[in-house]
Structure 1
Amino acid sequence: MVKITFMGAGSTVFAKNVLGDCICVDSLKDCEIRLYDIDAERLRDSELMLQAINRNINNGRATIKSYLGVEQRKEALRSADFVVNAIQVGGYDPCTIIDFEVPKKYGLRQTIGDTLGIGGIMRALRTIPVLEDFARDMEEVCPNAYFLNYTNPMSILTGYMLRYTPIKTVGLCHSVQVCSRGLLQALGMEDKIEGHRDLIAGINHMGWLLEIYDKDGVDLYPEIRRRAIEKNEKEKHHDMVRFEYIKRFGYYCTESSEHNAEYNPFFIKSKYPELIERYNIPLDEYPRRCISQIKNWERLREELVKNPTLTHTRTEEYASYIIDAIVTNKPFKIGGNVLNTGGLIENLPQEACVEVPCMVDGMGIHPCRVGRLPVQLAAMNMTNINVHLITIEAAVTRKKEHIYHAAMLDPHTGSELSIDEIVRMVDELIEAHGSWLPEFK
C-alpha cells in the first residue's frame, strides 16, 4: 500500500486537487492518505471532503487518516512513501499583512510577495525552520520518502532541502504545464496547441520558454513575438509584463505578469508611477486574493465539505503523475525544481535551484541537461538566484546581516530604497514578525 502524507492539509482546495488526483489513479486507489495540519477545523473539513470523494469515485478503497498538531507530526510521516508539502507559515493574518504593510511605509510596493522581494525573503525565513523540523522527522521515520514541495518561495525552500537535508526533494509548480498553452490561447493561436512541443528551463516562476514548435515542427516563436508585441501596443490585458519580456529579451516565461512585475527593477517604480497603469500591474494582488478567499470560504465550504455527492476529475498537478510513475515504473516527464548539479544549465551556479525538464520512473526523478541559456536570460535568472542563495545562507547561519544582503541585492527592493532604508525596513519586519522569526531577534 502506497502511503502519502499531505503536510498543510488545511489547504482544502489544493488537497482536493492533489489527493483527489491520486484517488483517480489506478495504481493509487488503495493508497493510505495521511492528512496533517495544525488547524483542527480545516483539517476536519479536508478529511470530510476527501472521504466523500473516496466514497463516490473510489468505492471507499483508499484509507484516509488525520493528524493534528506538532505532537502527531511524526506519526503522520511514519513509513510514508511520499510527502506532499503545502504549508504556509504565519498565514495571511498576521504574516502576509506584515510583509505588505511594513514595506509600504518605506514606499516599497508589491504584487504577490511570495517568491522574491522582501515578502519572499521573509516568507522563506519563517518557513525554513519548519522544513528543518520536517526533514529531521522524515530522516527518522521515513528516510526514503520523496518530498514533493509546492510551498513558495519554491526555489529557496527546495534549494534549502536539497543542500542541507538528506531528503529526496523536488519542487513543483503548475506554471510550467500551462505556460505554452496559455500563451497560444492569449495570442489567438489555439490551432497550434494540439501536438505542440516546447522546452522550458530557468528558475521557478522565471522559467524561460526557450523553444516552441507546432505538430509539424514549425518554429512558432517568430509569430508569437510578432503578435505579442502588437497586442501590447494595441490593448490593455493581464499579461503585459511577460509580453514586454518577449519584446525586450526575446522570450516568454512561466509565471504570470503580476508575479514577474516584482522580480526585476523595471515595472514598479515610485519615480515612474505611470508604469503601473501602462503595464496593468495589480499592486497588492496577493492580499486582495486572500481577503476574497476568506470572504468566499463559507460558500466554498458548502460545495466541498458539505456535499455528499462530491466527485473529482484529475487535474494537471504533477504530484499524482510523479507518484504513479515511481510506483509503476511508467516514465513521465515533468518540469521540476532541482539543484543545478553538474551544470544542468551550464551558465547558472551549481548550487542554484533550477527548473528543468525531468524524467520520472521507478528509479526516481532524473533531471535533464539543458545546456546554456541565452546570456540575457541567464543574467535575469542570476538577479533572482543571488537572493535565493543569500536568503538560504541567512536561514542556515542565523546571521541577520545576510537578510540585509538579500534585501539589498533584491532587484526590486534595491532599485527603490537606499541601503539605510533597507536595513531599517528589515529590522522593523523582524520586530513585527516577533515569534515567527525568533532566531533574528
Structure 2
Amino acid sequence: MAKITFLGAGSTVFAKNVLGDCMLIPDIDFEFALFDIDPERLKDSENMLTNLKKTTGSSVQIRAYSDRKEALRGAKYVINAIQVGGYDPCTITDFEVPKKYGLRQTIADTLGIGGLFRSLRTIPVVLDFAKDMQEVCPDALFLNYTNPMATITGAMIRYGGIQTVGLCHSVQVCADHLLKSLNMDTSNLQWKIAGINHMAWLLEITQDGKDLYPEIKRRAREKQKEKHDDMVRFELMERFGYYVTESSEHNAEYHPYFIKSRYPELIEKFNIPLDEYIRRCINQIDRWNDMRDEVVHNHNLTHERTHEYGSHIIEAIETNHPFKIGGNVLNTGRLISNLPEKAVVEVPCLVDRSGISPTYVGDLPEQLAALNRTNINTQLLTIEAAVTGDRDKVYQAALLDPHTASELSIDDIVKLCDDLIEAHGHWLPQFHSKIGTRGRIG
C-alpha cells in the first residue's frame, strides 16, 4: 500500500481534487496521511474524504495526523499545498506595504515584491519538511503545488536533497483556453510548451499537422480591438511572437511594461485587475463559508477526475503506464540550453516506474529566453536570501525584479524591503538579527 502524505490538507477543495483523483486510480490501494496546522480544517478534509471514499467505493485508508513527522513516515509521495502566513496577515501585508510606495500588484504570489516575500516565508518551512523527509521517507517524491513554484521547487532540490517536481495548472489548459477564446476548434491538437513556471511558451501548436499560429495571431489582433481578459498575453504574443501559459493578470506583473504609475492609462488599455488576488481571497473565503457543509458533511459527495497532474504521476509510477506532464524541474544538463542550470524550468516530462524523466528542449527563441532570464535572476537570488538569511540578497532580488525596478528607485526598493521585513515580523525571523549594507535592523 503506497502512502500519500498531504501537507496543507486543510485546503479541503484542493485535497478533494488531488486525493479524490487518486481514489479513482483503479486496482491500487493507498493510505492518505493528512496533515495541517489547523486542526479544524484538517478534520473537515478528513470528513470530506471519508464521505468520498464511500461514494467512490475506494479501498483507501484515511488518517489525519497531528504530528508532521509521523504523517511523513514511510511516505512514497508527499503532496505540498501549504500557504505560509495565509491571507491575513501576510498576503494583505504583501499588497498594502508596497502601495505606500506607489507599487501596485495583481496577484503577488509568484514574482514581484509580493512573490519574493512569499518565497522568503515559505522556503524555510519546506526545508524543514525536507529535514523530516530525509529522516523518515528519504526516497519519497515531493509533488509541489505551492507558489512561488520555481523558488520552492529549486530550494527543495538544491538544498533539501529531496526528489521534487513542481506542478501547475497552466500547461495542460493553455492550448484549449487559447483556441476557445478565439472561437477555434480544439480537436486533434498537438502542442509543445517550455520555459519557466507561469512564463512558459506555447512554442508549437498544430491541428492535423497544420500550424495554427498564423490564424491565432490574426484573430488575436482582431480581439484586441475590444476589452477582454487576455489582453496582456495577446500583446506579448504580438511583440514577442509566442503565447505564454499563465494568465494576463499574472503576466502583467512579471514584466516592466504594463503596471506603471507614470502611465496609468495602461491599466485601462490592457484591462489589468489590480489587487485581484485580494478580491479572490475574500470571495474564496465567502464561498467556502457558503459551501462548507455541502462539501464536508455531504454523504452523497461525488467526484470526477480533474486535469491535475498529481494522480496521473502516481498512477504512471505505480503501474508503469507512461504519462506525459509539463513539470517543473531543475535545468540540469541544460534541458533548455539558453537558460541557467540552477534555474527551475517547466518542460515536457515522461513519467513511468523509473520516475520523472525531463525531456531536452534545446534553445528557446532568444527573445523568450531573455524574458525568462529576467524572472530567473530574481528567483535565484531569492533562494539564496531565504537559505542564507542574507538581507543584502533580499535587496538584490528586489532590485532585479522587472516590475519593481521599473517603478521605484534603488533607495526606495531597499526601504520597501526593510518595511516588509519589519511588517512581516515573526514570519521572517532569519532577517531580524541581521542588517544589509544599505538597510536597517528590523
Q: What TM-score does the superposition give when structure 1 sets the normalisation length? A: 0.97
Match of 2:80 among 61, 81, 85: 85
Q: 1:215-230 maps to which residues of 2 (within 5 A)?
A: 216-230=208-222
Q: What secondary structure, in the 3-state scheme, does the structure 2 residue paired with 1:65 have?
A: strand
Partners in 1 of 2:24 and 2:282 — Cα distance? 32
Partners in 2 of 1:289 and 1:86 — Cα distance? 17
- Aligned match of 2:261: 270
Letter in 2 for 1:220: L
Q: What TM-score does the superposition give when structure 2 sets the normalisation length? A: 0.97
1:179 correspondence with 2:170: no
Q: What secondary structure, in the 3-state scheme, does the structure 2 residue paired with 1:348 have?
A: coil
Letter in 1 for 2:257: F
Partners in 2 of 1:187 and 1:194 — Cα distance? 14
- Aligned match of 2:12: 12
Match of 1:208 among 181, 201, 216: 201
Match of 1:326 among 280, 305, 317: 317
- Aligned match of 1:34: 33
Match of 2:295 among 277, 287, 304: 304
- Aligned match of 2:122: 127
- Aligned match of 2:342: 351
Contact preservation (8 Å) 2:4, 2:32: yes
> Which deviations, in whole Å up to 9, do the C-alpha atoms of 1:80-126 show, x marking residues without a partner?
00000000000000000000000000000000000000000000000
- Aligned match of 2:435: none
Partners in 1 of 2:193 and 2:80 — Cα distance? 24
> Which deviations, in whole Å up to 9, do the C-alpha atoms of 1:26-69 show, x marking residues without a partner?
143x210011100011100011001000011125x11000013x
Contact preservation (8 Å) 2:335, 2:360: yes
Partners in 2 of 1:119 and 1:290 — Cα distance? 15
**Structure 1 residue 353, shift from structure 2 partner:** 0.3
Contact preservation (8 Å) 1:27, 1:324: no
Partners in 1 of 2:82 and 2:420 — Cα distance? 21
Q: 1:2-401 maps to which residues of 2 (within 5 A)?
A: 2-28=2-28, 30-59=29-58, 61-68=59-66, 72-189=67-184, 191=185, 193-214=186-207, 216-233=208-225, 235-401=226-392
**Structure 1 residue 396, shift from structure 2 partner:** 1.4
Q: What secondary structure, in the 3-state scheme, does the structure 1 residue paired with 2:170 have?
A: coil
**Structure 1 residue 163, shift from structure 2 partner:** 1.1
Partners in 2 of 1:63 and 1:55 — Cα distance? 11
Aligned residues: 432
Contact preservation (8 Å) 1:358, 1:367: yes
What are the ranges of 5 or more consecutive residues in structure 2 without an aligned counterpart? 433-442
Contact preservation (8 Å) 1:229, 1:246: no
Partners in 1 of 2:319 and 2:288 — Cα distance? 37
Contact preservation (8 Å) 1:146, 1:168: yes
**Structure 1 residue 229, shift from structure 2 partner:** 1.5
Q: What secondary structure, in the 3-state scheme, does the structure 2 residue paired with 1:43 have?
A: helix
> Which deviations, in whole Å up to 9, do the C-alpha atoms of 1:311-363 show, x marking residues without a partner?
10000000000000001111000000001111100100011000000000000
**Structure 1 residue 7, shift from structure 2 partner:** 0.4
Partners in 2 of 1:389 and 1:397 — Cα distance? 12
Q: Measured at CA, do residues 27 and 377 of structure 1 come closer, stay the same or move farther in structure 2, by a change above 3 Å?
A: farther
Over 6 Å off, 4+ runs: none
Partners in 2 of 1:27 and 1:108 — Cα distance? 53
**Structure 1 residue 299, shift from structure 2 partner:** 1.3
Partners in 2 of 1:27 and 1:86 — Cα distance? 26
Q: What secondary structure, in the 3-state scheme, does the structure 2 residue paired with 1:178 have?
A: helix
Percent sequence identity is 68
Q: 1:397-412 maps to which residues of 2 (within 5 A)?
A: 397-412=388-403
Partners in 1 of 2:140 and 2:380 — Cα distance? 25
Contact preservation (8 Å) 1:326, 1:363: yes
- Aligned match of 2:438: none
Q: What secondary structure, in the 3-state scheme, does the structure 1 residue paired with 2:195 have?
A: strand
Partners in 2 of 1:24 and 1:65 — Cα distance? 18
Partners in 2 of 1:200 and 1:402 — Cα distance? 31
Partners in 1 of 2:219 and 2:360 — Cα distance? 31
Contact preservation (8 Å) 2:378, 2:401: yes
Letter in 1 for 2:62: I
Letter in 2 for 1:2: A
Partners in 2 of 1:366 and 1:57 — Cα distance? 32
What are the ranges of 5 or more consecutive residues in structure 1 without an aligned counterpart? none
Contact preservation (8 Å) 2:51, 2:297: no
Contact preservation (8 Å) 1:6, 1:33: yes
Q: What secondary structure, in the 3-state scheme, does the structure 1 residue paired with 2:193 have?
A: strand
The alignment's C-alpha RMSD in Å is 0.7
Partners in 1 of 2:23 and 2:346 — Cα distance? 27
